[in-house]
Amino acid sequence: MSSLRILFLGDVVGAPGLRAVKRRLPGLVSRLGVDLVIANGENAAGGLGITPSQVRDLHRWGVHVVTTGNHVWAKRELRRALGDLPRLLRPANHPDGAPGKGWCRLEVGGTPVAVVNLCGRVFMNPLDCPFRTADHILAGLDPPPPVVVVDFHAEATSEKRALGWHLDGRVSAVLGTHTHVTTADAQILPGGTGYVTDVGMTGVDASVIGMPTDRALARFLTGVPSGFGVADGDARISAALVEVDRETGRCVDIRIVHDGPGRGVSPPGRVL
């Protein structure tokens, strides 16, 4: 069996997250034998949005596809540049007329791959249905690539799990982003789809989901908004390592990788 190894980086948060990608990603790719790198970059610009230059930096440091989420429109300069950044994705379930695109196709070592970006609706901005949007995209892939990876940027665990089951057997992996906390449920669903509710974040772990602890505590203790900001310090990469059969597109292994403070690799994901 010939397999494709995909490394999917959880939300890159601010300058520390970007530094972690620059410093740690090349060694991680080499050690793990990675063929394709995808990263959610929607928190790269000070925790809110991403700029065109940051997208290009991520590409230069080894990220092939950059996905986003509900903060994709935070930087005006990105809206104007979306058409010039073919491997930057915004959620595909935005209504017709939104700039940019929600999925892309590429070839990795001779294997066709599609990457799809979707955003949830529960406790999030009202967008088109991510379930039916995924169905529409998959139906329109002609010819259908054997490998399809979905970044589902969503708040509710139930919505993420539901999409995983909805797409089981039709995509190679459904990988959750947005909540910045790695979940302990990496698994292979019965139809062969790799799944994890949230990959976590690429940022400073000694923080509150990337925010300085003092600011976060002030918000909770007083109820007074104090601005978010980005915690400074040594950041780690949190990622999902997904191994996929190049011919069938079925996931054969999925595990969580932390590189940086608290470095380690989880056991293989359980098979349901």
Q: Return the half-sphere exposure (C-beta side, CA atoms, 13 A cut-off) of residue 127.
A: 27
Diameter over CA atoms, the chain: 57
Q: Is 219 left (phi over 0), alpha (psi -120 to 50) or beta?
A: alpha
d(CA 55, CA 65): 9
258 is catalytic: no
- Active-site entry in 71, 94, 180, 258: 71
Residue in the block written with tokens 């065109």? 52
Helix, strand, coil percentages, rounded to 5, for the chain? 25, 30, 45
Whose tokens are 């698994």? That residue is 187
Any alpha helices (H) in 123-271, and if so which ranges?
130-140, 157-167, 213-222
Closest CA to 126 of 72, 191, 70: 70
Q: How far apart are the C-alpha atoms of 250 and 244, rounded to whole Å?
A: 6
| Cα distance between residue 69 and residue 226, in whole Å | 23
Q: For residues 41 and 23, what is the distance between their CA atoms, to the nearest angstrom? A: 16
User: How far apart, in whole angstroms, are the C-alpha atoms of residue 124 and residue 199?
Assistant: 19
Number of helical (H) and strand (E) elements in the chain, helices listed first: 6, 15
According to DSSP, the residues that pair with 117 across neighbouring strands are 151
Active site residues: 71
